[in-house]
Amino acid sequence: MSLLTRPLRITDLSNLQKIWPKDWTLRFISLALAVLLWYFVGGDDTVDKNVLVPVEVINLPRDLVISNQFKREIEVTVSGPRSLVLKIEKGDITRQVDLAHAVPGTIVIKNENHMIPVPRGMQVLRTQPDSMIFSLDKLIQKQLVIKPVTIGEPASHHVLQNITMKPETISITGPQAVLSHLDFLSTQVIDITGLSEPRQIQVPLKLNSELIDLIGETSVTADLVIVEETVEKRISGLPIEMNSYAGMLQIKPATVTIIAMLPRSLALETKDLRTLFRAIVEDDNEEGRMTVRVVPRQDEDAIKIVKVEPRVVTFSEKNQKLSPALSKPD
């Protein structure tokens, strides 16, 4: 009967102890550690893989700017343990481009395998693209005026009197090639069709892709001054008001003729246009002469006095002939 089929005896255990080494525990632990070490180091299989490596520009002079679009990542084929390849995929390395000695113009930078800083134990097999092109330009600052662009017409008998932009100018810093030919910035089209009163709106600027890269999508505020259309009127026989001189002085002539610009609706609705104005005199301290001043009784912003005839009148004390200039009464 064999040892495997017959019952285990005490003598068998004694013989087994003679065969098994006394330091079996230490040998077993050493074997287990060797297996683990092989698994994590020697047992990590080698792979070839394409990974994307970010491009990092360093030491660019302050008075220069990269004016072209360049690739922000390059494709690198690497070979090495899988665990190290996974670290690279997480972005642990970059392709640095040192432009410390760059001057304005176009330069070509080669992407050679040894320029990719991979960890020890890895190898770079290929880079794509094999070179990068950088266009360098002087960095300048320019103050550009904002010009509004409008379309359409206001409501009937109304006009666009003025547009104020806020801000009126924008300062942009960028490549000389982009900014040197610009004298102003235009807004997107502002539609004023049918407007009959002032309005404030936000309007984006009209920018090309190069300017968007510099300042982004930018909007400004447009203050639109929409007013009613005015008409010119000649108004005769406007009496001069004497105020504190009433009953003391005699004015010649006693009335004036004026030319004024009035809102169309006001001119049509007012039967006697003289009621819209006051004519008063101001002492010029000149012998026997006073200046006439005409002011609107209302809507001073909407009414404009163009001309007063006569501008100067003579005065005398009542019941007397023309006399020297009088002092203003207390």
Query: Which stretches in the chain have pLDDT values below 50?
Result: 1-4, 42-43, 321-330
The model's pLDDT over 207-234, given as tens digits with 9 standing for 90+, comes to 999 899 889 999 999 999 998 899 999 9
Q: Are residues 153 and 197 in the same domain?
A: yes
pLDDT score recorded for residue 223: 97
Backbone angles phi, psi at 109, to 5 degrees: -110, 125
Q: Do the beta carbons of residue 104 and residue 64 sit within 8 Å? A: yes
Q: Are residues 73 and 118 in the same domain?
A: yes
Q: Which residue has the tokens 């379309």?
A: 151
Residue 324 forms part of a structural domain: no
Q: Are residues 201 and 161 in the same domain?
A: yes
CA 320 – CA 203 distance, rounded (Å): 68
Q: Are residues 96 and 106 in the same domain?
A: yes
Choosing from 94, 129, 164, the residue where a domain stops is 129
The model's pLDDT over 279-320, given as tens digits with 9 standing for 90+, comes to 988 876 667 788 899 999 887 778 999 999 999 988 877 655
292-298 own/partner pairs: CB under 8 Å, 24+ apart? 292/240, 292/256, 294/238, 294/256, 294/258
Range of the domain at 21: 10-42
CATH number at residue 95: 2.170.120.30
